[in-house]
Amino acid sequence: MSNNALIQTIDLHKTYKTEAIETPALNGVDFTLHEREFTAVAGPSGSGKSTLLHLLGGLDRPTSGEIFLNGAAMSSLSKDQLSRLRLTRIGFVFQAYNLIPVLTVLENTAFVMELQGVVRRERIRRARAILTELGIEQYADQFPNRISGGEQQRVAVARAVVTEPSIVLADEPTANLDSKTSHELIGLMRRLNEDKGATFLFATHDRRLHDQVSRLLTLEDGRITQDQCR
């Protein structure tokens, strides 16, 4: 494990307010993530895993507390700057509906690069390369609805890592997959972590996947109750 702090959170709180009801989702989360780590966030449903990932990814803002990304405070960023940060520094894999239905697998893989303004030739080349690396180049010209859920998630991983972000955040990427496919997907992420040094943080409540990680954070009622390195 390297000692470079990639993400540091300080007393992170998030409370959702809907009309009269206040739902506390995070109640003081402090932890540090390092580069090249391969970390899972475990915890029961409603423990705040998604909330935490959203805050780290700049998709939402904490009620209080601070997140530092490479030493820079995220609370000081404007909405547009957060958007820019997501584009350039964060890779996302969501639970489902990761892909844009009207784009082919190849175009989906290249989509973030397109937003970044990478020239067409270059982004096609890089997208093809990553698809080949992940063993799904044969689907390059297919539309997402023509391939299986596991394959769709692989494409999402390909899209997340192809831009070489500081960190890939994956919120229950295996939730809709059977256990064999889940295992393969996490294995794939692990391989990218080891070969390319990509940093991953993913949420899951599937205990069987916990063996594959290098670090396991357990979240309960909006607090980190366990932090295990293996």
Ligand X SMILES: Nc1ncnc2c1ncn2[C@@H]1O[C@H](COP(=O)(O)OP(=O)(O)OP(=O)(O)O)[C@@H](O)[C@H]1O
Structural element, H or E, at residue 180: helix 179-196
Q: Is 85 in the site for another protein (CB under 8 A)?
A: yes
Distance between the two ends of the chain, CA-based, in angstroms? 10
Side chain identity at 10, as an amino acid letter?
Answer: I
Nearer to ligand X, 54 or 123 (CB): 54
* Four-CA torsion 3, 220, 65, 34, nearest 10 degrees: 10
Q: Is 50 in the site for Mg ion (CB under 5 A)?
A: yes
Nearer to Mg ion, 12 or 106 (CB): 12
Q: Which residue stretch of 13-21, 44-52, 148-156, 211-219 sits at the interface with Mg ion (rule: CB under 5 A)?
A: 44-52
Q: Is 25 in the site for another protein (CB under 8 A)?
A: no
CB of 16 to ligand X, least distance (A): 3
Residues comprising the chain, all counted: 230
What residue ranges bind ligand X (CB under 6 A)? 16, 18, 23, 25, 43, 45-51, 205
Q: Is 124 in the site for another protein (CB under 8 A)?
A: no
Using a 10 angstrom Cβ sphere, with 0-12 exposed, 13-18 middle and 19 or more buried, the burial of residue 148 is: exposed
Distance CA 176, CA 82 (A): 29
Distance CA 106, CA 36 (A): 27
CB of 206 to Mg ion, least distance (A): 12
Q: Which residue stretch of 20-28, 38-46, 88-96, 147-155 sits at the interface with another protein (rule: CB under 8 A)?
A: 88-96
Strand locations in the chain (E): 5-18, 21-34, 38-42, 64-69, 72-73, 90-93, 167-171, 200-203, 215-220, 223-229
Which listed option, another protein, ligand X, Mg ion, none, makes contact with residue 47 (CB within 5 to 8 Å by class)?
Answer: ligand X
According to CB under 8 A, which one of 17, 80, 180, 195 is a site residue for another protein?
80
Q: Give contact residues for Mg ion (rule: CB under 5 A).
A: 50
Q: Give contact residues for another protein (rule: CB under 8 A).
A: 54, 57, 59-60, 80, 83-88, 90, 92, 94, 97-98, 100-103, 107, 111-112, 115
